[in-house]
Chains A and B, each alone.
Chain A
Amino acid sequence: MRASAEGAGRVPVVHPIGAEGAFSWLWLIIALPLAGAVVLLVGGALARGALDRVGHWIGTGTVVGSFLVSLWLFISLLGRGEDERQIGQHLFTWFEVGELNVGMDLLYDPLSALFLLLITGVGSLIHVYSIGYMEHDVRRRRFFGYLNLFIAAMLVLVLGANYLVVFLGWEGVGLASYLLIGFWQHKHSAAAAAKKAFVINRVGDIGLSLAIALMFTTFGTTDFATISEQASGASQTTLNALGLLLLLGACGKSAQVPLQAWLLDAMEGPTPVSALIHAATMVTAGVYLVVRSNFIYELTPVAQTVVVIVATVTLLWGAILGCAKDDIKKALAGSTMSQIGYMMLAAGLGVAGYPFAIFHLLTHGFFKANMFLGAGSVMHGMNDDVDMRHYGGLRSFMPITFLTFAMGYLAIIGFPGFSGFFSKDKIIETALADNLVVGLCALLGAGITGFYMTRLMLMTFFGEKRWAKDVHPHESPSVMTVPLIVLAALSVLGGIMLLNDFIVDFLSPVTGVAEHHEPPLPAIVITMIVVGVVALGVAAAWFLVGRKEIARDAPQDVSFATRAARADLYGDAINDSLVVGPGRSMTTGLASFDRRGVDGVVEGGSAGVGAMSGVLRRVQNGFVRSYALSLLGGALLVVLALLAVNLA
Chain B
Amino acid sequence: MAFWILAPIMVVAALGILFVRKAVHAALLLAVVMISLAVLYAVLEAPFLFAVQIIVYTGAILMLFLFVLMLVGVDASDSIVETIKGQRLMAIVLGLVFGAVLVTAFSQISLGTAVGLEEANTGGNIEQLANILFSRYVFAFEATSALLITAAVGAMVLAHRERLTPKETQAAMAAKRMRDYAESGKHPGPLPAPGVYARHNAVDTPALLPDGTASEASVSRVLAARGVMRSAPAMADDIEELQRQSGIDGAVLPGTSGKSGAAANTEASTGEDVK
Q: Does A635 lie within 8 Å of B84, measured CB to CB? A: no
Contacts A623-B84, A626-B84, A629-B87: A640 and B101 contacting too (C-beta < 8 A)? yes
Q: Is B98 touching A639 in the complex (CB atoms < 8 A)?
A: yes
Which residues does chain B contribute within 8 Å of A623, judged by CB atoms? 83-84, 87
CA A516 to CA B179, docked complex, whole Å: 138
| Residue pair B84, A636 in contact (C-beta under 8 Å) | no
- Tell me if B158 is interfacial: C-beta within 8 Å of chain A: no
Are B102 and A639 closer than 8 Å at their CB atoms?
yes
* Contact B90–A629 (Cβ < 8 Å): yes
Distance, CA A633 to CA B101, complexed state (A): 13
Partner of B87, one of A626, A640, A643: A626
Complex: how many Å from CA A623 to CA B82? 12
The reply to whether A643 and B95 contact each other, CB–CB distance below 8 Å, is no
- A610-648, CB < 8 A from B: 621, 623, 625-626, 629, 632-633, 635-636, 639-640, 643, 647
Give residues of chain B (74-106) contacting chain A, Cβ–Cβ below 8 Å: 83-84, 87, 90-91, 94-95, 97-98, 101-102, 105
Which listed residue (A621, A625, A643) contacts B101, Cβ 8 A?
A643
Q: A635–B94 Cα gap in the complex (Å)?
A: 10
What 0/1 pattern do residues 144 to 171 of B give for CB contact below 8 A with A? Answer: 0000000000000000000000000000
Residues of A within 8 A of B102 (CB): 639
Check A632 against B98 for contact (C-beta < 8 Å).
yes
Chain A residue at minimum C-beta to C-beta distance from B108: A647
Interface residues on B, range: 10 to 19
User: Chain B residues with Cβ under 8 A from A632's Cβ?
Assistant: 91, 94-95, 98
Cα–Cα distance between A625 and B90 once the two chains are bound (Å): 11
Enumerate chain A residues within 8 angstroms of B95, measured Cβ to Cβ.
632
B94/A636 in contact, CB under 8 A: yes
Q: How far is the CB of A630 from chain B (nearest CB, A)?
A: 10
CA distance A647 to B109 in the complex (A): 10
The minimal Cβ–Cβ distance linking B17 to chain A, given in whole angstroms, is 16
Complex contact A629–B91 (CB within 8 A)? yes
Q: Which of A625, A633, A643, A647 contacts B94 (CB 8 A)?
A: A633
Closest to A622 in B: B84
Q: A629 contacts B101, CB within 8 Å?
A: no
In the complex, the answer to whether B87 meets A639 with C-beta atoms within 8 Å is no
Q: Is the interface of A mostly helix, strand, loop or mixed?
A: helix
- Chain A nearest Cβ from B101, distance in angstroms: 6
Interface residues of B in 106-147 (CB under 8 A from A): 108
Interface residues on chain A, size class: 10 to 19
B84 contacts which chain A residues (CB < 8 A)?
621, 623, 625-626
Chain A residue with the shortest CB-CB distance to B91: A629
Residues in B with CB closer than 8 Å to A625 are 84, 87, 91
Let me know if B94 and A629 touch, CB within 8 A.
yes
Q: Is A639 a contact partner of B94 (Cβ separation < 8 A)?
A: no
The residue that A635 contacts in the complex, of B83, B91, B98, B108, with Cβ under 8 A, is: B98
Beta-carbon contact of A636 and B91 below 8 Å: no
Chain A proximity of B84: nearest CB distance (Å): 5
When chains A and B are docked, how far (Å) is the Cα of A633 from the Cα of B93? 10
The reply to whether B101 and A639 form a contact with Cβ atoms under 8 Å apart is: yes
Q: Which residues of the other chain, A, contact B83 by a CB distance below 8 angstroms? A: 623
In this complex, what residue of B is CB-closest to A632? B94
Question: What residues of chain B lie closer than 8 Å to A643, measured between beta carbons?
Answer: 101, 105
Please measure, in the bound complex, the distance between the C-alpha atom of A647 and the C-alpha atom of B102, giving whole angstroms.
Answer: 13
Q: Are B87 and A636 in contact, CB atoms less than 8 angstroms apart?
A: no
Tell me the smallest distance from the CB of B135 to a CB of chain A, in Å: 32
Report the separation of the CA atoms of residues A179 and B91 in the bound assembly, to the nearest whole angstrom.
80
Chain A residues contacting B108 (CB-CB under 8 Å) are 647
B residues in contact with A640, CB < 8 Å: 101
- Closest Cβ of chain A: how far from B62's Cβ, in Å? 22
Q: Using known A-B contacts A623-B84, A626-B84, A643-B105, determine if residue A636 contacts B90 with beta carbons closer than 8 Å.
A: no
B195 to chain A, nearest CB (A): 54
B91 contact set on A, CB distance < 8 A: 625, 629, 632
Tell me how far the C-beta of B107 lies from the nearest C-beta in chain A, rounded to whole angstroms.
12
Contacts of B97 in A (CB 8 A): 636
A642, closest chain B residue (CB):
B105
Instruction: Specify the chain A residue showing the minimal Cβ separation from B94.
Output: A632
Using Cβ atoms and an 8 Å threshold, which residues of chain B touch A621? Answer: 84
**What are the interface flags for A186-221 relative to B under an 8 Å C-beta threshold, 1 for contact and 0 otherwise?**
000000000000000000000000000000000000
State A623–B98 Cα separation when bound (angstroms): 22
Q: Nearest-CB distance from A518 to chain B (Å)?
A: 109
User: Which chain A residue lies CB-closest to B105?
Assistant: A643
A residues near B90, Cβ cutoff 8 Å: 629
B98 and A636 contacting across the interface, CB-CB below 8 Å:
yes
Closest residue on chain A to residue B83 by CB atoms: A623
Closest to A635 in B: B98
The answer for the CA separation of A177 and B93 in the assembled complex, in Å, is 85
- Shortest A33–chain B CB gap in Å is 83
Which residues between 209 and 267 of chain B lie within 8 Å of chain A, taking CB atoms? none
Contacts of B87 in A (CB 8 A): 623, 625-626, 629
Question: Chain B residues with Cβ under 8 A from A635's Cβ?
Answer: 98
Most chain B C-beta atoms within 10 Å of own C-beta, residue among A621, A626, A647: A626
Q: Which residues of B contact A639 (CB under 8 A)?
A: 98, 101-102, 105
What is the CB-to-nearest-CB distance from B104 to chain A, in angstroms, rounded to a whole number?
9
**Closest partner residue, chain A, to B104 (CB atom):** A643
State A439–B2 Cα separation when bound (angstroms). 129
Query: CA separation between A480 and B46, bound complex, in Å?
Result: 122
- Enumerate chain A residues within 8 angstroms of B98, measured Cβ to Cβ: 632, 635-636, 639
20 interchain pairs, CB-CB under 8 A: A623-B83, A623-B84, A623-B87, A625-B84, A625-B87, A625-B91, A629-B87, A629-B90, A629-B94, A632-B94, A632-B98, A633-B94, A636-B94, A636-B98, A639-B98, A639-B101, A639-B102, A639-B105, A643-B105, A647-B105
Residues of A within 8 A of B (CB): 621, 623, 625-626, 629, 632-633, 635-636, 639-640, 643, 647
- 9 closest cross-chain pairs (CB), A and B: A636-B98, A623-B84, A632-B94, A643-B105, A626-B84, A629-B90, A629-B91, A639-B101, A633-B94
List 10 extra interface pairs beyond A623-B84, A632-B94, CB under 8 A.
A621-B84, A623-B87, A629-B91, A633-B94, A635-B98, A639-B101, A639-B102, A639-B105, A643-B105, A647-B105
